[in-house]
C-alpha cells in the first residue's frame, strides 16, 4: 500500500479521541498531517506527521514553557521541604556521649 492510499484511509472527522486534520503539501513537496486529541469538547494539538518522499516522520507538539515550569515548581517544593526539615527538627538527636546517663559508670561518680 502506497502512502497516498493510506492517507485516504485516515479518519478526518475524528475517531474516539484523536482527530487527523486534512493533509496538505508544502512548497518543498512534503505532506503534513496535523493530529489533535479531543477531550471534553476541546481539542489540543499532539503533533504532526511529515511525509518527505517515502519517509514518514512524527514531530511532537511539545510545550517547553510547561516543562520548564514543572521543573521550577519541583525545585521550589524541594527547597521548602528541606528548609522545613532543618528548621523544625526535634532536639533529641543532639545527644552526645558525655551527657548520656547510660554511658556513665555504675559507681555514680
Q: What are phi and psi of 42, to 5 degrees?
A: -115, 145
Residue 11 scores a pLDDT above 80: no
Contact (Cβ atoms closer than 8 angstroms) between residue 58 and residue 49: yes
Mean pLDDT of 67-92: 90
**Which segment of 22-26, 58-62, 76-80, 91-95 scores lowest on mean pLDDT?**
91-95
Q: Cα separation of 43 and 17, whole Å? A: 9
67's CB contacts (< 8 A; 6+ apart) are none
Q: Is this prediction's pTM over 0.85?
A: no
Residue 37 scores a pLDDT above 60: yes
Residue 71's Cα: distance from chain center in Å?
A: 10
Tell me what pLDDT residue 65 has. 93
Amino acid at each position: 500500500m502506497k502512502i497516498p492510499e493510506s492517507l485516504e484511509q485516515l479518519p478526518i472527522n475524528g475517531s474516539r479521541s484523536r482527530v487527523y486534520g486534512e493533509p496538505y503539501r508544502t512548497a518543498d513537496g512534503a505532506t503534513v498531517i496535523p493530529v489533535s486529541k479531543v477531550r471534553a469538547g476541546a481539542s489540543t494539538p499532539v503533533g504532526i506527521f511529515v511525509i518527505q518522499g517515502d519517509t514518514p516522520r512524527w514531530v511532537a507538539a511539545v510545550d517547553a514553557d510547561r516543562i520548564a515550569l514543572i521543573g521550577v515548581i519541583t525545585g521550589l517544593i524541594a527547597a521548602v521541604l528541606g528548609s522545613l526539615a532543618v528548621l523544625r527538627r526535634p532536639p533529641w538527636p543532639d545527644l552526645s556521649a558525655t551527657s548520656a546517663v547510660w554511658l556513665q559508670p555504675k559507681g555514680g561518680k
